[in-house]
A and B are shown apart, each in its own frame.
Chain A
Amino acid sequence: DVKVTQSSRYLVKRTGEKVFLECVQDMDHENMFWYRQDPGLGLRLIYFSYDVKMKEKGDIPEGYSVSREKKERFSLILESASTNQTSMYLCASSPGVTGELFFGEGSRLTVL
């Protein structure tokens, strides 16, 4: 089975802190994605990557950056967390042929 693992299920951080959300997939997928999910707004794409060291902005990249140093790992970075970044963050990977996404369990971030 494809497994996408997000490092933390729940995090609580303070405004201004740097936050790292890690995601690892074990199926050698080329494509990896970070979404955030908020009530009433659905899932919104933050960043995605089609290859190692490559990244593309999604619909809401402001306040975020990403890193993909290895094929299996895609990290989301909040340089200076703010309260409006309190959300559920979902990582996903895709083999790229069918477009089907495999999601992790999510990381619920609260910024105080």
Chain B
Amino acid sequence: SQQGEEDPQALSIQEGENATMNCSYKTSINNLQWYRQNSGRGLVHLILIRSNEREKHSGRLRVTLDTSKKSSSLLITASRAADTASYFCATDKRGGGSQGNLIFGKGTKLSVKP
């Protein structure tokens, strides 16, 4: 079964609005990562949050992590049409290593309308 599950599966908003995507996972982790994928392209790493961190910011991105609930959220503020993409959370599989062997969720498809 998937380690990470994103919610919602699809999200449609207007430019300028905020977009929030959620991720739940099942087992202990060292870190949780968020990736972005434009249609038909490879994934691009956005942000990594460690298990001992609760919140992290990068530009218009804000990620939170609640290890007690085994969940994370990605907030994109003041969204732009260029933010239209699929967003994936990923966790390390066994919670013991950080060599890049990740399990990905199925993603949230974000559509930002101009």
Interface of A with B (CB < 8 Å)? 4, 30-31, 33, 35, 40-43, 45, 48, 50, 90, 92-106, 108
Contacts and interface: CB of A to CB of B under 8 A. Distances in A.
A4 B101 CA distance: 17
Given A102-B45, A106-B40, A94 B100 contact: yes
Given A42-B2, A42-B107, A43-B88, A99 B102 contact: yes
A96 B30 CA distance: 13
Interface residues of B, number: 25
A103 B102 contact: no
B99 interface: yes
Contacts of A93: 100
A35 B43 CA distance: 11
A33 B101 contact: yes
A101 B98 contact: no
A41 B107 CA distance: 10
Contacts of A96: 98-100
* Closest 4 A/B residue pairs (Cβ): A94-B100, A103-B42, A42-B106, A99-B98
A32 to B, nearest CB: 9
Interface string B18-45: 0000000000001101010000111111
Contact of A42 (B41, B100, B104): B104
B33 A105 contact: no
A101 B43 CA distance: 9
A101 B45 contact: yes
Given A31-B100, A43-B104, A106-B41, 16 more contacts: A30-B99, A33-B100, A40-B106, A41-B106, A42-B104, A42-B105, A45-B103, A48-B100, A94-B100, A96-B99, A99-B31, A99-B100, A100-B100, A101-B33, A105-B41, A108-B40
